[in-house]
Structure 1
């Protein structure tokens, strides 16, 4: 069977999925081009296709690799069309159809708990969603119409009432204007564009790493513990289940390490990180080099494919086609939620957030499978421990109310968690000693395998092996056997005989010495026993 069929779900929940067939040797770029063409999107570099393997681990489709080899669990081949790179400046988006798909992605992020915000912001964003979907507020609308829509991860009747009041204030906004206001508001939030990857730090604490246009963010709850701008990150790597961030801060190198649940999750985190760094940091795609990481025997290479954000903006500025006319998909109307006793359990007026930990496994880039509170790590000395804190120390701590609402400045540094820059020579990952040991072991194994092959080739009886006999008769092999193999064999025999000549006297000496020492010890003990008896 050389043709396969795949299904691609769109960002519109009500829209029919795209179904296409492809050959066995087709690469991911062909499928991505087909979907982009069907959706009539020119600013295509912000989007990509994503799939999930049998372990519930998400992966972005690699345009340069074979589809069948990437999606090893298929058929069936099911993918989703999603925003991969969230633009750093949404105002620079040229076409409305691109802005509309970004709006749909951000709505999904808000619904699934990836776009964290405080009470007031969640009401504002939900109001824009209602205005974009149903238009101006209708006085004849039945009370509680907001409950038909899934707006946030947790919503109560009080929250829905506030959204209705906010909707009344948005009269006159068109759907496109409401979507633009929603995007601009979401762009100001801390977790804009964050796809959380659950990891554990060196203390065993569950934290989340997310990639944005600003850099790598380390999040816990709704607070950003530390932020690494792309320009200060010198290297990103992984080794097994451990993910490393090497950065140069104040002219000093610091290395942070985190532990993923599986090696596949660590590899996926590394690929996403280097992909985002290449897209947002470099001006030209030709400046991005091949990235390698992993262990010595199971290394991984990754090459950035596509254009950088700088190139995308240049291409967007040169778009000359007329603005495409597209139909907005009707919203997915949920069954009207009836008021239950759970509404009385919420003490707040709106949904409560506990950061990314309240998300379900299906909404994480990597499913959470951490069973133990602490995870095993090699011993780390106190002077070499890097606290996961924010880098800058020129701001005062936020108020308690702001911290509860998640409105924490991006560069806020907790007063009691000063960043301790240590000598990182002892925590270079992986250590130079371990690399040297691996190289020596690899060299010894190679020498052993080569020697074994030579012995089999030249010493084994080849009367019944015509292939080996013909191979030995080659002129170059005969020269190698005469000028290299035989002298090397004779040298090894001489060394063995010389070693035997040295070892034999030493063995006899030790044997005689042991006998004399035993006789002396026996005489001393016997004489002492005789004196005590007398």
Structure 2
């Protein structure tokens, strides 16, 4: 079979799960991949100005040193947005192979982005699963004070912006009726109570849906029903609708199973999901998964043995390219570490001469650490002034 390019072993010993007394960490074994980034001597000797598309669709320029790591840019973007919930957000960009890739904080910018001066990065939620946007979760993250309530409103606002983007880019799978209802709440949030002239002008200037003209009348009818609703209340309604959708926060990774059947793989907080079309046919929870790995175009899931023997010990999926395999594998590493462990895994020492497999590991805080940090932090008022409390 040859050497695996990426291996991630899911530890089940005490401390690897939330609530355990001690954390043994998470093991990752990989060789440093050959960088495809192209640099010039001119770029090495000066700073870089990078363009980032924010969640509100504004473009911002950020200055970083040419030898900066991804973390330097990410910190500037999060500071600009006045966010402390940093581990829910990330920057993604389109590679030369037309793959959407998340910027790695612990890796040099020049080694990640090939045409670094011509590439626009996009700020996005990295972990936008259903339970993150429920009111109960947000309220457990924060103590109830007026200042913290302001942060909750800002957090919801950013989620609503992400949902708006997902609708526009056809990333949110839902019925036409649901899509028009979401847009009507977005209109209420952006321009206030229904006014036919203002509504038509707003819909003319802004594209919310690919088939917007065909459903415009339905959007206006829904908007009439939201009279008196504040922007914060409208954002809350958008989140309430989105969290009930089966496909919210799901990003498909097309693949084939061993029988050659076309399927879609996805990563969620509970484990790895398998879809046929948009119908979920299987869920492999983290508790059942022993190890995740990839070799060239093959993505491998090694399961713990079951008494009934329903599944094979190792599941194999064929993807379109090695890059697609690695993108999915990295996503699994991040999700498992963030949701299922208490502490960050300790970095492994770099080998002096040779190494095998990817050196990638999750570098942010876990969900448990983030919640504890927010509870203990003196949160400053957000720069967003859109809402009145």
Q: TM-score scaled to structure 2, two decimals?
A: 0.74
User: For 2:100 and 2:319, how far apart are their aligned partners in 1?
Assistant: 14
Q: CA deviation at 1:20?
A: 2.3
Task: Give the 5 Å matches for 1:52-131.
Answer: 52-86=94-128, 88-90=131-133, 91=135, 92-93=137-138, 94=142, 95=151, 96-131=153-188
Q: CA deviation at 1:184?
A: 2.3
Q: CA deviation at 1:144?
A: 8.4
Q: Do the aligned residues in 1 keep the contact of 2:103 with 2:112 (CA within 8 Å)?
A: yes
Q: Which residue is 1:30 aligned to?
A: 72
Q: Do the aligned residues in 1 keep the contact of 2:81 with 2:383 (CA within 8 Å)?
A: no
User: For 1:189 and 1:102, how far apart are their aligned partners in 2?
Assistant: 15
Q: Which residue is 1:274 aligned to?
A: 333
User: For 2:316 and 2:78, how far apart are their aligned partners in 1?
Assistant: 37
User: For 1:141 and 1:34, how far apart are their aligned partners in 2?
Assistant: 36
DSSP-derived class of the 2:382 partner: coil
User: For 1:203 and 1:113, how far apart are their aligned partners in 2?
Assistant: 30
Q: Which residue is 2:233 aligned to?
A: 177
Cα 1:155–1:245 change in 2 (3 A) is: farther
Q: Confirm or deny that 1:303 pairs with 2:361.
A: yes
Q: Which residue is 2:315 aligned to?
A: 256
Alignment partner of 1:161 out of 194, 217, 241: 217
Deviations 1:59-104 (A, max 9, x none): 1111111111111333334321111112533223352222222211
Q: Do the aligned residues in 1 keep the contact of 2:196 with 2:220 (CA within 8 Å)?
A: no
User: For 2:335 and 2:385, how far apart are their aligned partners in 1?
Assistant: 31
Q: Which residue is 1:374 aligned to?
A: none
Which stretch shifts more, 166-175 or 252-261? 252-261
Alignment partner of 1:198 out of 254, 276, 299: 254
Q: CA deviation at 1:185?
A: 1.8
Q: Which residue is 1:151 aligned to?
A: 208
User: For 1:289 and 1:278, how far apart are their aligned partners in 2?
Assistant: 13
Cα 1:140–1:261 change in 2 (3 A) is: closer
Q: CA deviation at 1:143?
A: 6.1
DSSP-derived class of the 1:300 partner: coil
Q: Do the aligned residues in 1 keep the contact of 2:50 with 2:63 (CA within 8 Å)?
A: yes
User: For 2:196 and 2:222, how far apart are their aligned partners in 1?
Assistant: 14
Q: Confirm or deny that 1:232 pairs with 2:280.
A: no
Q: CA deviation at 1:297?
A: 8.5
User: For 1:28 and 1:191, how far apart are their aligned partners in 2?
Assistant: 30
User: For 2:74 and 2:294, how far apart are their aligned partners in 1?
Assistant: 28
User: For 2:360 and 2:344, how far apart are their aligned partners in 1?
Assistant: 14
DSSP-derived class of the 1:301 partner: coil
Q: TM-score scaled to structure 1, two decimals?
A: 0.55
Between structures 1 and 2, the one with greater helix share: 1
Q: Do the aligned residues in 2 keep the contact of 1:280 with 1:308 (CA within 8 Å)?
A: yes
User: For 1:216 and 1:194, how far apart are their aligned partners in 2?
Assistant: 11
- Name the larger-Rg structure: 1
Alignment partner of 1:133 out of 175, 181, 190: 190
Cα 1:18–1:250 change in 2 (3 A) is: same
Q: CA deviation at 1:242?
A: 0.8
Task: Give the 5 Å matches for 1:380-459.
Answer: none
User: For 2:365 and 2:100, how far apart are their aligned partners in 1?
Assistant: 23
Alignment partner of 1:210 out of 266, 271, 278: 266
DSSP-derived class of the 2:179 partner: helix
Cα 1:314–1:249 change in 2 (3 A) is: farther
Q: Do the aligned residues in 1 keep the contact of 2:199 with 2:220 (CA within 8 Å)?
A: no
DSSP-derived class of the 1:306 partner: coil
> Larger relative CO (CA 8 A, sep 6+): 1 or 2?
2
DSSP-derived class of the 2:232 partner: helix
Q: Specify every segment of 5 or more residues in structure 2 that has no aligned partner in the other structure, as ranges.
A: 1-41, 143-150, 349-353
DSSP-derived class of the 1:283 partner: coil
Pairwise CA RMSD: 2.7
Q: CA deviation at 1:266?
A: 0.9
User: For 2:296 and 2:356, how far apart are their aligned partners in 1?
Assistant: 9
Deviations 1:111-143 (A, max 9, x none): 222211224322322222221122111266576
Cα 1:142–1:180 change in 2 (3 A) is: closer
Cα 1:231–1:106 change in 2 (3 A) is: farther
Q: Do the aligned residues in 2 keep the contact of 1:5 with 1:76 (CA within 8 Å)?
A: no
Q: Do the aligned residues in 2 keep the contact of 1:26 with 1:66 (CA within 8 Å)?
A: yes
Q: Specify every segment of 5 or more residues in structure 1 that has no aligned partner in the other structure, as ranges.
A: 291-295, 330-534
Runs of 4+ in 1 over 4 A off after TM superposition: 139-148, 249-253
